[in-house]
């Protein structure tokens, strides 16, 4: 075991005894979350998300699976360069090439981690790996030793741990600890376990494996039976001190345990669960909205913590109680998770300084150019819309960040809609400054707009998702549109907001097209095949 290799100082994440109740939050939105069909994110989006997670004080950011594609490698490499506080982690299978590629990707990280995994259950041993128990033990020793020679912070995961024979799981964990793993993750890969059972698995391993007191144990729960959060919390009660989570609970199949739910459960129920995280919870809503916007996955209205209705009180009895004492029907405040009431912010006479301060309060620190552009957009919006709310600003800035560097931009759009068909769109775009125009008809105005984009920029991408939602209430609300395109297995999402739904649709489609082109040029990732 080496003590001088990069990232070898893990003492600050392995809490001393007095801090035994601190739970490390490991975010896998960009890795397991991105494995949700259709949830792929561009490099720029991953970099922005990494900054949001770091602002939120997430302890570990799993930024990708470097050997899976050049795009994933680049994401882990560039996240490693910009993140200074959180640990940046990459995933690797047990092979040496995987581990080397991962080590290369995290090389520049101030605090890097290699996360290597191997299946341990009989089902995976027999049907995927065709390996005996002894083969598995040998692979664990080799892979973890190799990883530890490259990085001092190594996490080892027993894929499908919850369907593994318990005595064999103990031997696997023992091998990983002996080889130098600093974190041991016992994933419920297929979302099969039950809370009391998961807690027992941790208790048994922690009590019976030599050296268990020197490592951090981690939960990683999938939500196939809707138990991911309950199982993760049970794992913590069983002795785990790291939880692997994803924003909005996105992830393979039914998803991963939701970051916001676990963090708030630990915060609100400290009486039953005397553990805490370092997460600054007022950033939660912003992270949730950003992940929803870049993936195009809507957050259900009644979703715990981050749903639009999570703090809405409709019934008269509840409203009456709330007026008398908020505690009658509210166990946490919307402000705790950054879901303040939608405030009226400013009108068209508001100045640049007030605008910058407002954005700061909403969690955005923009550079001078981005600020100027956002301010101009705000002025344009304030001309069209009487009341500009916090949610409008969030949509506006996210839109500016998403499309700012786009090579193709929508310049003019005119649409003929109504009961007398055919609906028709006249579109002008600029491609690196050069104007191109086209006109098209369609089966409805949106179809006409998208056909006009096709005419001006011929392409083979297939539209996989078209989604519109109103940012605020009222008929002058901005429409926020998400578009997902797929071409040759590559998926790209685009977003835009505008008070004109058709303009927002055109801009979101063009933004998705830009992201697709950028991916093609960089030979960026095809969606990682499932099976992890």
532 interacts with ligand KIV by CB under 6 A: yes
308 CB-contact burial (10 Å; exposed 0-12 / middle 13-18 / buried 19+): middle
**Which one, 32 or 398, has the nearer CB to Zn ion?**
32
159 interacts with ligand KIV by CB under 6 A: yes
259 CB neighbour count, 10 Å cutoff: 34
What does the alpha-carbon distance between residue 442 and residue 466 come to, in Å, rounded to a whole number? 16
Residue 305 beta carbon to Zn ion: minimum distance, rounded to whole angstroms: 21
Binding partner of residue 157 among Zn ion, ligand KIV, none, CB cut-off 5 to 8 Å per kind: ligand KIV
Binding partner of residue 80 among ligand KIV, Zn ion, none, CB cut-off 5 to 8 Å per kind: none
Binding partner of residue 117 among ligand KIV, Zn ion, none, CB cut-off 5 to 8 Å per kind: ligand KIV
**Nearest CA among 184, 9, 156 for reference residue 91:** 156
Pairing of strands 479-487, 434-442: unpaired
Beta strands, E only, 112-200: 112-119, 154-159, 183-188
Which contiguous run of DSSP H or E holds residue 437?
strand 434-442
Q: Which of 182, 189, 495, 514 binds ligand KIV (CB under 6 A)?
A: 189
What does the alpha-carbon distance between residue 75 and residue 60 come to, in Å, rounded to a whole number? 15
Specify the stretch interacting with ligand KIV by CB under 6 A; choose among 10-18, 103-111, 121-129, 183-191: 183-191
**Which one, 188 or 392, has the nearer CB to Zn ion?**
188
Specify the stretch interacting with ligand KIV by CB under 6 A; choose among 79-87, 181-189, 281-289, 412-420: 181-189
Chain centroid to Cα 352, Å, comes to 31
Binding partner of residue 290 among Zn ion, ligand KIV, none, CB cut-off 5 to 8 Å per kind: none
Q: Which of 220, 283, 490, 507 binds ligand KIV (CB under 6 A)?
A: 220
Binding partner of residue 116 among Zn ion, ligand KIV, none, CB cut-off 5 to 8 Å per kind: none
**Coil, strand or helix at 430:** strand
**Which one, 163 or 519, has the nearer CB to Zn ion?**
163
Q: Hey, what are 328's tokens? A: 């009658």
Task: Pick out residues in 221-240 that bind ligand KIV (CB under 6 A).
Answer: 222
157 interacts with ligand KIV by CB under 6 A: yes
259 to 298: interface string for ligand KIV, x by CB under 6 A? ----------------------------------------
**Which one, 89 or 457, has the nearer CB to ligand KIV?**
89
187 interacts with ligand KIV by CB under 6 A: yes
- DSSP conformation letters of 363-390: T----HHHHHHHHHHHHHHHHH-S-EEH
**Which one, 448 or 527, has the nearer CB to Zn ion?**
527
Residues marked as binding? 32, 220, 222, 256
CB of 86 closer than 8 Å to CB of 113: no
Residue 189 beta carbon to ligand KIV: minimum distance, rounded to whole angstroms: 4
117 interacts with ligand KIV by CB under 6 A: yes
32 interacts with Zn ion by CB under 5 A: yes
Binding partner of residue 423 among Zn ion, ligand KIV, none, CB cut-off 5 to 8 Å per kind: none
Q: Is the dihedral of CA 452, 520, 77, 184 positive or negative?
A: positive
Task: Pick out residues in 213-242 that bind Zn ion (CB under 5 A).
Answer: none
Task: Pick out residues in 419-458 that bind ligand KIV (CB under 6 A).
Answer: none
Which contiguous run of DSSP H or E holds residue 178?
helix 166-179
**Coil, strand or helix at 408:** strand
What does the alpha-carbon distance between residue 72 and residue 31 come to, in Å, rounded to a whole number? 9
Residue 86 beta carbon to ligand KIV: minimum distance, rounded to whole angstroms: 18
Residues marked as binding for Mn(2+)? 32, 220, 222, 256
Binding partner of residue 159 among Zn ion, ligand KIV, none, CB cut-off 5 to 8 Å per kind: ligand KIV
28 to 57: interface string for ligand KIV, x by CB under 6 A? ----x-------------------------
Q: Is the dihedral of CA 433, 439, 440, 441 positive or negative?
A: positive
**Which one, 79 or 257, has the nearer CB to ligand KIV?**
257
State which residue has the least CB distance to Zn ion.
Answer: 32
**Nearest CA among 176, 56, 182 for reference residue 113:** 182
Specify the stretch interacting with Zn ion by CB under 5 A; choose among 24-32, 103-111, 300-308, 400-408: 24-32
Specify the stretch interacting with Zn ion by CB under 5 A; choose among 14-22, 32-40, 278-286, 399-407: 32-40
What does the alpha-carbon distance between residue 160 and residue 123 come to, in Å, rounded to a whole number? 9
Residue 518 beta carbon to ligand KIV: minimum distance, rounded to whole angstroms: 27
What does the alpha-carbon distance between residue 400 and residue 387 come to, in Å, rounded to a whole number? 20
154 CB neighbour count, 10 Å cutoff: 29
DSSP lists the bridge partners of residue 152 as none
Query: 439: alpha, beta or left, given left = phi > 0 and alpha = psi -120 to 50?
Result: beta
Q: Hey, what are 446's tokens? A: 């949106």
Rounded to 10 deg, the angle between the 368-384 and 352-361 helix axes is: 100
Residue 233 beta carbon to ligand KIV: minimum distance, rounded to whole angstroms: 18
- What does the angle CA 5 – CA 10 – CA 12 come to, to the nearest 5 degrees? 145
Q: Hey, what are 420's tokens? A: 């007398």
Residue 170 beta carbon to Zn ion: minimum distance, rounded to whole angstroms: 22
Positions touching ligand KIV (CB under 6 A) are: 32, 117, 157, 159, 185, 187, 189, 220, 222, 532
Positions touching Zn ion (CB under 5 A) are: 32
């Amino acid at each position: 075991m080496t003590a001088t290799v990069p990232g070898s100082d893990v003492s600050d994440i392995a809490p001393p005894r007095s801090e035994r109740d601190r739970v490390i939050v490991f975010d896998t939105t960009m890795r397991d979350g991105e494995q949700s069909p259709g949830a792929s994110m561009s490099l720029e989006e991953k970099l922005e998300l990494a900054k949001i997670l770091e602002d939120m004080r997430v302890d570990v950011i799993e930024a990708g699976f470097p050997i899976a594609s050049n795009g994933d490698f680049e994401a882990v490499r560039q996240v490693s360069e910009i993140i200074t506080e959180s640990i940046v982690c990459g995933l690797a299978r047990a092979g040496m090439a995987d581990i080397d590629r991962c080590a290369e990707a995290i090389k520049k990280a101030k605090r890097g981690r290699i996360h290597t995994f191997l299946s341990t259950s009989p089902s995976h041993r027999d049907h995927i790996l065709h390996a005996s128990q002894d083969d598995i033990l040998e692979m664990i020793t080799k892979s973890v030793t190799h990883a530890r020679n490259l990085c001092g912070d190594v996490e080892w995961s027993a894929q499908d741990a919850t369907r593994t024979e318990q005595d064999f799981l103990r031997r696997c964990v023992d091998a990983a600890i002996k080889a130098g793993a600093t974190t041991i993750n016992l994933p419920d890969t297929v979302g099969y376990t039950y809370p009391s059972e998961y807690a027992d698995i941790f208790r048994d391993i922690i009590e019976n494996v030599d050296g268990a007191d020197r490592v951090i144990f981690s939960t990683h729960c999938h939500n196939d039976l809707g138990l991911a959060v309950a199982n993760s919390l049970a794992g913590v009660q069983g002795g785990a001190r790291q939880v692997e989570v994803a924003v909005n609970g996105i992830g393979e199949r039914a998803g991963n345990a939701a970051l916001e739910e676990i963090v708030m459960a630990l915060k609100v129920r400290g009486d039953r669960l005397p553990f805490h995280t370092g997460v600054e919870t007022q950033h939660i809503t912003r992270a949730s909205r950003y992940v929803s916007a870049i993936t195009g996955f809507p957050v259900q209205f009644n979703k715990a913590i981050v749903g639009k209705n999570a703090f809405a009180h409709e019934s008269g009895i509840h409203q009456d109680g709330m007026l008398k004492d908020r505690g009658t029907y509210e166990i946490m405040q919307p402000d705790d998770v950054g879901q303040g009431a939608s405030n009226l912010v400013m009108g068209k006479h508001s100045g640049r300084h007030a605008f910058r301060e407002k954005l700061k309060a909403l969690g955005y620190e923009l550079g001078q150019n981005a600020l100027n552009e956002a301010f101009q957009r705000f002025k344009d919006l304030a001309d069209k819309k009487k009341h500009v709310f916090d949610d409008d600003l969030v949509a506006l800035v996210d839109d500016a960040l998403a499309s700012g560097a786009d090579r193709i931009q929508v310049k003019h759009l005119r649409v003929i809609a109504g009961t007398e068909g055919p609906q028709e769109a006249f579109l002008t775009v600029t491609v690196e400054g050069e104007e191109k125009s086209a006109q098209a008809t369609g089966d409805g105005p949106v179809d006409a707009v998208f056909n006009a984009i096709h005419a001006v920029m011929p392409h083979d991408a297939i539209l996989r998702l078209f989604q519109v939602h109103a940012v605020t209430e009222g008929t002058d609300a901005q429409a926020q549109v998400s578009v997902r395109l797929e071409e040759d297995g590559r998926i790209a999402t685009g977003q835009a907001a505008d008070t004109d739904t058709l303009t927002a649709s055109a801009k979101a489609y063009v933004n998705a097209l830009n992201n697709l082109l950028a991916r093609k040029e960089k030979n960026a990732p095809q969606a990682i095949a499932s099976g992890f």
